[in-house]
Structure 1
Amino acid sequence: MIEERARRRLPPWAVDALIGAGVTLVVSIVISSGQGGRQGPDAIAHLWAAGLGALMLARRRHPVTVLAVTALGLFAYYAAGYPAVGIAVPVTAALFSAAEFGRLVHAVVTAVVVVAVSVFFRLIEGQDFSYVVGYELAGHILLMAAAIALGDSLRSRRNAQAGARRIAELTAQRYRQEAGARLHAERLAIARDLHDSIGHTTSVISLHADVARESLGHDESQTRAALDLIKDTSTRTMSELRRTVALLRTPDEDARSVVSLSGVGALREAAAAAGIEIDVEMRVTAELPATVDASAFRIVQEAVTNIVKHSHGTRARITAFDDGPLLRLSVVDDGPGHAIGTVTATATGRGHGVEPGHDIGQEHGTGPGHGIAGMRERAESLGGTLTAGRERAGFAVRAVLPLERVS
């Protein structure tokens, strides 16, 4: 911990300069003791010690070169006959540096070569075998091994710390991506809600505005009824939009406070005003999760909107019942319809030919619509399925929603 704090305070070159100064000081002290050798310590010997220290300034960029020059310099020092300085002390810093910067093999090989050369020449010179091998060798080997092990452990710790930082960065990046994905999903959900709610409302308002315009000056009661329905529908929609905005501001609020299958009755009233009678059969015995409840209502709402806008029938039936872990929905009308040049869309969003009675591929005759796609996205976001198409009884939208979230 102390070393790590020191590294944070000192730049790398300063650390290397301190190591170099330490090497020069220690080797110079050993040289000054004047033990052995054919000639006493002089300025060249101390200059050699300073050279070993200066090599530390290049230990980060050229650790192998520093190691090789140190070993060769040691051999040249002894060949010149200067006082003994051992073999471990002068090369310890170079061995440490090589191991610290990932040159472990070079450090081990250099240590073995230095020891072997030293023992060989000392024995040739006639020094006592027991003293050279039995007494001094173990200490030299232990000191060099400790330097190599310390350098390698420091390198391993740095790599581990770098790996931990990288993992932290990747984790933070993943969290940012997940947050972006959640934001995108929320935007899609808001878009679907706005499409379903406002699309249904505008369809009803447009229809009854036409009724009021045609009856204006001819049937005052019908005009008044159409205008009252427009007012009630717009008021309900504004109230629902306010609740939706309130939910967005307080996301922990129960989604049931916004929309629920319990509000299907309002859809039946709007459709009845448009001349379409809707029968509702609700056989839901289990308590629905808020997300399933809200999505089920939106699917039914969009299906009813399509019926009001495009169906030539006069009746429709809404059915909802829980089947074990599933909620099954269906909205079926009785319209024979007439082909209006549009294609049906299934839950996969692909067209399957001309479908009479429903403008699935286009809405308002202006281009591709998003009704079926929105219903499909709602169902699939919960792990369910949705199909839409012509059946014998009429045009049907059927959805199956799991009551538990599918991961």
Structure 2
Amino acid sequence: MTSQSTPRRVPPKVTDALLAVGVAVTVSIVITANEGGRHGPDPVAYLWAVGLGALMLVRRRYPVVVLAVSVLGLFAYYAAGYPAIGLAVPVAAALFSAAEHGRITASVVAALLVTTVSVIFRLAEGQDFSFVVGYELAGHVLLMGAAIALGDSLRSRRAAQADARRIAELTEARYRQEAQARLRDERIAIARDLHDSLGHTTSVIALHADVAREALGRDDDAARSALELIRSTARRSMDDLRRTVTLLRSADDAPRTVVSLANLDAVTRAASAAGFDVDVHVAVDTPLPAPVEAAAFRIVQEAVTNVVRHSTGSRVEIRAEQDSTHLTVTVADSGSDPLPSAEPAHHAVSAGGAERAEPSARGAAATGTVEPPANSGSGSGSGSGSGSGHGIAGMRERAESLGGTLTAEQRRTGFVVRAVLPLREPV
């Protein structure tokens, strides 16, 4: 891989030194021509040329002072009667320097002053008007104007480059912030997935561990069935963890493995094993966006987990219906009676013969007390996954992160969780 080397910039002091030498040499050569003047060049004239060049060493710090000294020095030179050196040549570098540092007004005023004084002085001496104004004036004005334009152009170019660098820095900072935001969102999504998955798993394991404990010595078949369900649930949980760790370790940007509404049997199996009659209806015609389908699956998972833990009913309905713009997910249970406040765990035999824990056992596991569903009053159903209400809050956060809505309410027929998710993520 080759890298492009950044061209080295000449240090400013070196540039100023070269410009000083150039001005001194140029003016000295013009003086040597010995054109006009009351007397020929002497060491003072050449010393003046050297001084004019030396001004370039401080042009960056004092651009207006350098310009003013150059103009006054030019007037003094001609007043002393030395050979003619023109107008633009002695002051061109000073005009350029002032314009380069943004002193356009000072440059223009100096150029006009030098031109006006020179023309008036030469005409007062009796020089030919056509020669002074018609021939020489245009060249002097053009040269001084070019010096000013060059200095201002260089200043503008540097300003544009500085602005471009600033824009590049701001753009880089914005991209870095966006990357950090994407990483933070991804971490939050992974944490939410782990919370929902592990919360569902631990709830199922706790429920059926309690069932197995109660069945030991009384119904060995029911105990073995509960233990088998615990084993299969734990294996699925480990698979989820393994996939998540693999995702975190992956060096590429491969798309995440997304849970699917087609895999709801993994969620409903636990409810069926707990004695619920589960009715699932998924009407999805087209492939859903991955974030929408993942959110829908997790909402169903959390809601069903809460039904298993808190519901006094015996039936749970899961609906997923899609229209042109939205996916609507509904989880409703048939429990309508309040949870008992503090009763020992009771068990009932479901229609299929499998023993399932009553709500007291589902809500409080082996403690014999009931954990009331948060945010649902005293009613039963798919309320919160914990007493602090993180279940409903987590489901609502998932829906709102996609621009959707989620409602969870106790009705006469049971507790209902309903999420409406847009099929397009918010811009």
Give the match for residue 209 of structure 2: 209
Query: 8 Å contact 2:374–2:389 — kept in the other structure?
Result: no
The answer as to 2:56 corresponding to 1:56 is: yes
What's the TM-score once normalised by structure 1's chain length? 0.90
Amino acid at match of 1:403: L
Deviates more, 1:391-400 or 1:90-99: 391-400
1:398 deviation in Å?
A: 0.8
Identity %: 63
Secondary structure of the equivalent of 1:281? strand
How much has 1:158 moved relative to structure 2?
1.1
Tell me the residue number matched to 2:347. none
Task: For residue 109 of structure 1, report the CA deviation from its aligned partner.
Answer: 1.1
State the one-letter code of the partner of 1:236.
Answer: R
Partner of 1:306: 306
Aligned twin of 1:349: none
Check conservation: 1:71, 1:114, Cα contact below 8 A: yes
Q: Which amino acid aligns with 1:102?
A: G
Pair 1:130-2:130 in alignment: yes
Corresponding residue SS for 1:8: coil
Instruction: Kindly provide the CA deviation profile for residues 156-189 of structure 1, in whole angstroms up to 9, marking residues without a partner as x.
Output: 1111111111111111111101101100110110
Higher RCO, Cα 8 Å, sep 6+: 2
Identify the residue that residue 395 of structure 2 maps to in structure 1.
Answer: 375
C-alpha displacement of 1:359: 8.1
In structure 1, C-alpha distance between the alignment counterparts of 2:378 and 2:110, rounded to whole Å:
85
Q: Alpha-carbon deviation of 1:250?
A: 7.2
Distance 1:337 1:155, change over 3 A: farther
| Structure 1 residue aligned with 2:289 | 289
CA contact (8 A) 2:336 2:412 kept: no
Measure, in 1, the Cα distance between the counterparts of 2:98 and 2:187: 56
* Comparing 118-127 and 184-193, the one that deviates more: 118-127
- Residue aligning to 1:231: 231
2:333–2:382 contact (8 Å) kept in structure 1: no
Question: How much has 1:68 moved relative to structure 2?
Answer: 0.9
Residue by residue over 1:110-144, the C-alpha shift from the partner in whole angstroms, topping out at 9 and shown as x without a partner, is 10111011111111122111111111101100100
Q: Which residue of 2 aligns with 1:354?
A: 377
Checking the alignment, whether the CA contact within 8 Å between 1:205 and 1:230 is kept in structure 2 is yes
Q: CA RMSD in A?
A: 2.2
Superposed displacement of residue 329, structure 1? 0.6
The alpha carbon displacement at 1:341 in A equals 6.5
310-319 or 141-150: which moved more? 310-319
Q: Secondary structure at the match of 1:35?
A: coil
1:395 aligned residue (415, 421, 426)? 415
Given that residues 267 and 301 in structure 2 are in contact (C-alpha distance below 8 angstroms), is that contact kept between their aligned partners in structure 1? yes
Residues 323, 47 of structure 1: CA spacing in aligned structure 2 closer, same or farther, 3 A cutoff? same
Q: CA deviation at 1:243?
A: 2.8
Matches within 5 A, 1:78-117: 78-117=78-117
Q: Does 1:192 align with 2:192?
A: yes
Give the secondary structure class of the aligned counterpart of 1:83: coil
Aligned residue for 2:424?
404
Cα displacement string for residues 41-90 of structure 1 (whole angstroms, at most 9, x for unaligned residues)? 11111111111111111111211111111111111111122111111000
Alignment-mate amino acid for residue 153 of structure 1: S
Within 2, Cα distance between the matches of 1:29 and 1:153?
Answer: 28
Query: Contact conserved, 1:88 with 1:144, CA < 8 A, in 2?
Result: yes
- For residues 154-303 of structure 1, the aligned pairs below 5 Å read 154-248=154-248, 249=250, 253=254, 255=256, 257-303=257-303
Return the alpha-carbon distance in structure 2 between the equivalents of residues 60 and 404 of structure 1. Answer: 58
CA displacement, residues 145-164 of structure 1 (integer Å, 9 cap, x when unaligned): 11111111111111111111
Q: Distance in 1 between matches of 2:315 and 2:253?
A: 39
Q: Does the 8 A contact of 1:254 with 1:290 survive in 2?
A: no
Deviation (angstroms), 1:204: 0.5
Q: Following superposition, which runs of at least 4 residues in structure 1 exceed 4 angstroms of deviation? A: 250-255, 339-343, 358-362
* Amino acid in the other structure paired with 2:402: L
Q: In structure 1, the residue corresponding to 2:39 is in which secondary structure?
A: coil
CA contact (8 A) 2:307 2:382 kept: no
- More moved, 14-23 vs 274-283: 274-283
Corresponding residue of 1:141: 141
Q: What is the CA–CA distance in structure 2 between the aligned matches of 1:283 and 1:252, rounded to whole Å?
A: 31
Q: Does the alignment pair 1:384 with 2:404?
A: yes
Shift in alpha-carbon separation, 1:136–1:190, aligned structure 2, 3 A: same
Question: Aligned partners of 1:388 and 1:59: how far apart in 2?
Answer: 75
Question: 1:389, CA displacement in angstroms?
Answer: 1.7
Partner amino acid, structure 2, of 1:91: V
CA distance in 1, matches of 2:300, 2:331: 7
* Counterparts in 2 of 1:51 and 1:254: CA distance versus 1, 3 Å: closer
Cα distance change on mapping 1:7 and 1:207 into 2, 3 Å: closer
When the two structures are superposed, what TM-score results if normalisation uses the length of structure 2? 0.86
TM-superposed deviation, 1:253: 4.9
- For the residues of structure 1 that align with 2:195 and 2:260, how far apart are their CA atoms? 17
Deviations 1:306-328 (A, max 9, x none): 11122222211100111222211
* Corresponding letter in the other structure for 1:357: S
Partner amino acid, structure 2, of 1:8: R
CA separation of 1:355 and 1:133: change in aligned 2, threshold 3 A: farther
Q: Is the 8 A contact 1:7 1:15 kept in 2?
A: no
User: Quick one: distance in 2 between partners of 1:252 and 1:69?
Assistant: 66
Partner of 1:143, secondary structure, is helix
Cα distance in 1 for partners of 2:24, 2:6 equals 21
Instruction: Give 2:233's aligned amino acid.
Output: T
Note the C-alpha offset of 1:381: 2.7
How many corresponding residue pairs?
Answer: 391
- Work out the CA distance in 2 between the residues paired with 1:182 and 1:372: 25
Q: Which amino acid aligns with 1:384?
A: G
